[in-house]
């Protein structure tokens, strides 16, 4: 195992069989060693800096019906909400004061926010906070729409590919969604000039080790600037209510693999990881992650944006979230910085 891990560090890549071996035969020793090397790699590029992104969950309406997701269209137990431009600007104001220099607008696929409306919001944020980066995470849109939003000032775009295997994709999504279109969106975003993030859930229903290795190969092909991975966590009102959650352990192991594959990539320790394990985000940083994304949404809507059960920080004010996170990051020898943190 050590030989394979060293090869991964030296070359940044492995054969399919080697990746499978690395994942299937993982043990405490390989976990610790990989995590140590990933931390070293991360230190070389980023020192002990951790970047923060302020997540604004501005709508939980969604036209899609993804089998795993709590805000899927057919979940009638969700109270739906939309934030107005004023609400969003207020979140940014609070976030700026707390030291955020990146705002992430995330929502379901909600075409109430057409290009005109969304461009207006993007322009307003970029005009008001010229030293900040703006990230969009609003799902699949046309090339023309992505282009307009980019031209209005959006800098980055998060669109997890969810799984790079066609058959697996169809087990997670209804038939009107396709992996082909998902991938096309990601390549379009890159071509337009966004800093792009893809990613997948760890331990999603029907996922095999081969699927995960397929994800690593796809990520290698896309060469994203950001990679978001987190454990799958079942939501009681979805088709996958009875499925087992992914594990923090495999998520952390994959974070280390990704750090060794892509030393410069922006890699968040996700909220889902923090939900499965109370110190998940800190462990994520220690496994090679370098980004955290605290919630800036108004407390009144937080519980309504439940993609999965038991999501953390749904009752806290933004300031509480950030201050406790700052402390716990410092306790493990890292520090949150006030910077855009571009790729």
Nearest-5° angle of CA 202, CA 205, CA 211?
60
Shortest Å, Cβ 294 to ligand 5AD: 15
Shortest Å, Cβ 116 to ligand 5AD: 24
- Segment lying near ligand 5AD (by CB under 6 A), choices 24-32, 46-54, 180-188, 231-239: 231-239
Nearer to ligand 5AD by Cβ, of 4 and 56: the residue is 56
Residue 16 CB coordination number (10 Å) = 12
How many residues belong to the site for ligand 5AD (CB under 6 A)?
12
Residue 156 CB coordination number (10 Å) = 24
How far, in Å, CA of 114 to CA of 238, rounded?
A: 27
If we measure between CA atoms, which residue out of 266, 269, 270, 296 comes closest to residue 106?
A: 296
What does the radius of gyration of the chain's CA atoms come to, in whole angstroms?
A: 19
C-beta of residue 52 within 8 angstroms of C-beta of residue 336: yes
Reading across the β-sheet that carries 156-158, which strands appear in turn?
54-59, 102-107, 133-137, 156-158, 195-202, 226-231
If we measure between CA atoms, which residue out of 195, 202, 223 comes closest to residue 284?
A: 202
Contact pattern for ligand 5AD over residues 109 through 148, marking x by CB under 6 A: ----------------------------------------
Shortest Å, Cβ 162 to ligand 5AD: 6
Query: Which positions from 9 through 68 interact with ligand 5AD, judged by CB under 6 A?
Result: 68
Residue 276 parent element (H or E): helix 271-276
Alpha helices in 16-61, H assignment, sequence order: 16-24, 28-46
Q: How many residues does the chain have?
A: 343
Examine residue 233 and tell whether it contacts ligand 5AD (CB under 6 A): yes
- Segment lying near ligand 5AD (by CB under 6 A), choices 28-36, 209-217, 229-237, 318-326: 229-237
- Segment lying near ligand 5AD (by CB under 6 A), choices 89-97, 112-120, 143-151, 226-234: 226-234
Examine residue 162 and tell whether it contacts ligand 5AD (CB under 6 A): yes
Examine residue 227 and tell whether it contacts ligand 5AD (CB under 6 A): no
Contact pattern for ligand 5AD over residues 167 through 206, marking x by CB under 6 A: ----------------------------------x-----
What is the largest distance, in Å, between two alpha-carbon atoms of the chain?
55
Shortest Å, Cβ 181 to ligand 5AD: 15
Q: Helices H, strands E: what count in the chain? A: 14, 9
Nearer to ligand 5AD by Cβ, of 251 and 290: the residue is 251
Q: Which of 8, 138, 248, 272 binds ligand 5AD (CB under 6 A)?
A: 272
Shortest Å, Cβ 171 to ligand 5AD: 14
Q: Collapse the DSSP code of 299 into the 3-class scheme (helix H, G, I; strand E, B; otherwise coil) and give the result.
A: helix
Q: Which of 235, 281, 283, 326 binds ligand 5AD (CB under 6 A)?
A: 235
Nearer to ligand 5AD by Cβ, of 30 and 295: the residue is 295
Nearer to ligand 5AD by Cβ, of 110 and 162: the residue is 162
Residue with tokens 């029907």: 206
- Segment lying near ligand 5AD (by CB under 6 A), choices 1-9, 119-127, 225-233, 286-294: 225-233
Shortest Å, Cβ 107 to ligand 5AD: 10
C-beta of residue 203 within 8 angstroms of C-beta of residue 231: yes
Beta partners for 105? 56, 136
C-beta of residue 158 within 8 angstroms of C-beta of residue 228: yes
Nearer to ligand 5AD by Cβ, of 201 and 257: the residue is 201
Site of interaction with ligand 5AD (CB under 6 A): 68-69, 160, 162, 201, 230, 232-233, 235, 272, 307-308
């Amino acid at each position: 195992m050590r030989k394979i891990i060293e090869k991964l560090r030296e070359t940044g890549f492995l054969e399919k069989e080697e990746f499978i071996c690395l994942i299937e035969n993982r043990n405490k020793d390989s976990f610790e060693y990989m995590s140590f090397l990933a931390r070293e790699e991360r230190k070389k590029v980023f020192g002990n800096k951790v970047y923060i992104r302020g997540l604004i969950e501005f709508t939980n309406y969604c036209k899609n019906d993804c089998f795993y997701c709590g805000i899927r269209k057919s979940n009638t137990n969700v109270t739906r909400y939309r934030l107005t431009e004023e609400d969003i600007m207020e979140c940014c104001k609070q976030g700026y004061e707390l030291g955020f220099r990146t705002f992430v607008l995330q929502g379901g696929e909600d075409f109430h926010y057409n290009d005109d409306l969304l461009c207006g919001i993007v322009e307003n944020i970029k005009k008001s906070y010229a030293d900040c980066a703006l990230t969009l995470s609003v799902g699949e849109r046309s090339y023309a729409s992505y282009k307009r939003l980019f031209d209005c000032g959006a800098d980055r775009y998060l669109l997890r590919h969810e799984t790079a295997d066609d058959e697996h994709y169809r087990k997670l999504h209804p038939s009107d969604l396709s992996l082909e279109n998902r991938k096309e969106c990601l390549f379009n975003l890159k071509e337009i000039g966004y800093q792009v993030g893809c990613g997948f859930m760890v331990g999603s229903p029907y996922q095999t080790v081969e699927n995960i290795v397929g994800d690593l190969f796809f990520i290698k092909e896309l060469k994203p600037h950001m990679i978001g991975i987190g454990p799958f966590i079942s939501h009681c009102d979805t088709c996958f209510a009875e499925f087992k959650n992914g594990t923090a352990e495999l998520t952390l192991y994959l974070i280390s693999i990704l750090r060794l594959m892509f030393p410069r990539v922006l890699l968040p320790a996700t909220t889902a990881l923090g939900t499965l394990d109370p110190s998940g985000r800190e462990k994520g940083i220690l496994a090679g992650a370098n980004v955290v994304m605290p919630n800036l949404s108004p407390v009144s809507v937080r519980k309504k944006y439940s993609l999965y059960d038991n999501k953390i920080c749904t009752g806290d004010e933004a300031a509480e979230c950030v201050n406790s996170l700052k402390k716990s990051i410092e306790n493990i020898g890292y520090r949150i910085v006030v910077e855009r943190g571009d790729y």
